[in-house]
């Protein structure tokens, strides 16, 4: 008999079916044995009635996480036992036969326990099986699909960027050095920045997704050493505001798609619907700092950047006063932004750059880029970089690139904030941080 997925059992009422999956929970009640079974599509309760001696015999040793093939009859539950809020809460599988596909040791934690971050990560292959973790990564999958869907519709072309690079694009972010062939030094990329810019000379509008590496010794709830970055870059922009419109549209589409396709996951985390207007509210860094001073008395008006507490305050402000969970801060100082960022001639010392803040944290950086060859060489030199080292990249500019701009978006931070969870590592399947690459670096 063909396997039926657990989510489809409701359509087979009164019929005999075969399911395959894991034991989620086992409960013995006198002569009845109850199981919750789990497969990739959901959960269902099964029961072995007292007369099923063969099934009882096989089930004797079966514990949570054993993998089974179960033959059974789908029965409607009596009215008083219906659990309307639960998947398959109105049916039950009457177990007629069990085949063990794999046995399992006892889990090192109880499956419904509230686990701290260390335990969650120490036992990642197992903790990922929990409802909470499944919901995080199902929602993340929807985010990825929505990101691609929106940009595809806007005429973008997806491309794959290399991860082994000859130098650092971001100048500032720590970079991991590796030994390449013949002893040549090489690095792990910190961003696909240079490649996406070159690609605008081919496809005009491009995006790319994938791992990026940051060799920074942070111990915070927002930093990873390997992150998934979603980047796009678009040619023929008038200035950075065209890019701001595109990222507003992208994030709004992701928010709406989550509400439509990840309803259950959002409900699990009890998060309020995201306020994502068509174009996000924005203000210059200096205006934001003035606002903070006026409203809170904290004077950060000469600082070149926002501190985490400023970012939190601005997001609360936008939530309460601007009907938006997102706020864009523009015009960071030239000294704080990478060489490829366009200066604003109307605001000397500041750039046509921006960050998008979402529920208290920066999730996106972006800007209009310098597209003129000579100006770019000057900018590199002013940052102490050797243009010779970037001659491959500069070739694209020497032979004509259109005015362009783009963004980089951190997938894990975005997921974390959409779901209202507390640490970016919880929104990372297998986080790399200062303490661990799967297992702890030192005990």
250 interacts with ligand AMO by CB under 6 A: no
Buried (b) or exposed (e) across 157-168, using 16+ Cβ within 10 A?
eebebeeebbbb
Helix (H/G/I), strand (E/B), else coil: 240: helix
Token pair 């970089």 is found at 385
Residues 6+ apart with CB under 8 A from 268: 131, 132, 135
342 interacts with ligand AMO by CB under 6 A: no
Q: How far apart are CA 369 and CA 380, in angstroms?
A: 13
Q: Which residues are catalytic?
A: 214, 216, 222-223, 362, 365, 413
Residues 6+ apart with CB under 8 A from 85: none
> Which one of the spans 26-34, 220-228, 344-352, 435-443 is the region binding ligand AMO (CB under 6 A)?
220-228
DSSP-H helix ranges across 96-239: 117-122, 124-127, 131-153, 193-203
Helix (H/G/I), strand (E/B), else coil: 266: helix
- Cβ(234)–Cβ(243) under 8 Å? yes
364 interacts with ligand AMO by CB under 6 A: yes
227 interacts with ligand AMO by CB under 6 A: yes
Q: How far apart are CA 266 and CA 419, in angstroms?
A: 6
> Which one of the spans 245-253, 288-296, 301-309, 401-409 is the region binding ligand AMO (CB under 6 A)?
401-409
> Which one of the spans 272-280, 287-295, 322-330, 402-410 is the region binding ligand AMO (CB under 6 A)?
402-410
366 interacts with ligand AMO by CB under 6 A: yes
193 interacts with ligand AMO by CB under 6 A: yes
419 interacts with ligand AMO by CB under 6 A: no
Task: Pick one of 189, 191, 274, 368: the residue that binds ligand AMO (CB under 6 A).
Answer: 191
Which residue has the CB atom at the shortest distance from ligand AMO?
Answer: 410
140 interacts with ligand AMO by CB under 6 A: no
Among residues 317, 241, 327, the alpha carbon closest in space to that of 276 is found at 327
Q: Which residue's CB is nearer to ligand AMO, number 249 or number 410?
A: 410
Q: How far apart are CA 37 and CA 26, in angstroms?
A: 9
Task: Pick one of 133, 170, 343, 344: the residue that binds ligand AMO (CB under 6 A).
Answer: 170
Q: How far apart are CA 415 and CA 27, in angstroms?
A: 35
237 interacts with ligand AMO by CB under 6 A: no
Q: Which residue's CB is nearer to ligand AMO, number 4 or number 193?
A: 193
Minimum CB–partner distance for residue 360 and ligand AMO (Å): 13
Q: Which residue's CB is nearer to ligand AMO, number 35 or number 390?
A: 390
253 interacts with ligand AMO by CB under 6 A: no
Helix (H/G/I), strand (E/B), else coil: 342: coil
Element (H or E) spanning 439, and its range? strand 439-440
Q: Which residue's CB is nearer to ligand AMO, number 46 or number 366?
A: 366
410 interacts with ligand AMO by CB under 6 A: yes
Residues that bind ligand AMO (CB under 6 A): 170, 173, 191, 193, 214, 223-224, 227, 229, 231, 362-367, 406-410, 412-413, 424
């Amino acid at each position: 008999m063909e396997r039926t997925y657990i989510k489809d059992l409701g359509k087979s009422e009164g019929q005999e079916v075969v399911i395959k999956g894991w034991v989620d929970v086992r409960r013995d009640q006198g002569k009845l044995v109850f199981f919750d079974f789990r497969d990739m599509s959901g959960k269902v309760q099964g029961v072995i009635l007292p007369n099923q001696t063969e099934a009882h015999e096989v089930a004797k040793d079966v514990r949570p996480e054993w993998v089974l093939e179960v033959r059974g009859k789908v029965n409607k539950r009596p009215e008083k036992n219906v659990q309307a809020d639960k998947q398959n809460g109105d049916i039950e599988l009457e177990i007629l036969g069990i085949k063990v596909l794999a046995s399992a040791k006892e889990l090192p934690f109880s499956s419904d326990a509230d686990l701290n971050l260390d335990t969650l990560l120490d036992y990642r292959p197992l903790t990922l099986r929990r409802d909470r973790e499944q919901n995080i990564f199902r929602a993340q999958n929807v985010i990825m699909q929505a990101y691609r869907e929106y940009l595809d519709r806007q005429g973008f072309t997806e491309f794959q960027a290399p991860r082994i690079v000859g130098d650092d694009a971001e100048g500032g972010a720590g970079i991991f050095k590796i030994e390449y062939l013949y002893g040549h030094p090489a690095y792990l990329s910190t961003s696909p920045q240079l490649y996406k810019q070159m690609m605008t000379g081919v496809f005009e509008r491009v995006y790319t997704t994938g791992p990026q590496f940051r060799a920074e010794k942070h111990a915070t709830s927002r930093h990873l050493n390997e992150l998934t970055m979603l980047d796009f870059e678009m040619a023929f922009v008038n200035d950075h505001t065209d890019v701001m419109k595109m990222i507003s549209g992208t994030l709004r589409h992701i928010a709406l798609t989550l509400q439509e396709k990840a309803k259950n996951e959002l409900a699990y985390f009890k998060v309020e619907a995201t306020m994502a207007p068509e174009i996000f509210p924005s203000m210059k860094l200096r205006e934001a700092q003035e606002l903070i001073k006026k409203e809170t008395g904290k004077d950060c008006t000469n600082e070149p950047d926002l501190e985490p507490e400023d970012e939190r305050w601005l997001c609360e402000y936008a939530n309460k006063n601007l009907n938006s969970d997102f706020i864009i801060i523009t015009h960071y100082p030239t000294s704080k932004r990478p060489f490829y960022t366009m200066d604003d001639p109307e605001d000397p010392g500041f750039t046509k750059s921006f960050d998008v803040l979402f529920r208290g944290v920066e999730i996106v950086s972006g800007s209009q880029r310098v597209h003129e060859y000579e100006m770019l060489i000057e900018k590199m030199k002013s940052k102490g970089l050797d243009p010779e080292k970037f001659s491959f990249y500069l070739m694209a500019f020497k032979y004509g690139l259109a005015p362009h701009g783009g963004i980089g978006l951190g997938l894990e931070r975005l997921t974390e904030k959409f779901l209202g969870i507390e640490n970016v590592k919880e929104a990372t399947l297998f986080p790399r941080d200062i303490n661990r690459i799967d297992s702890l670096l030192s005990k």
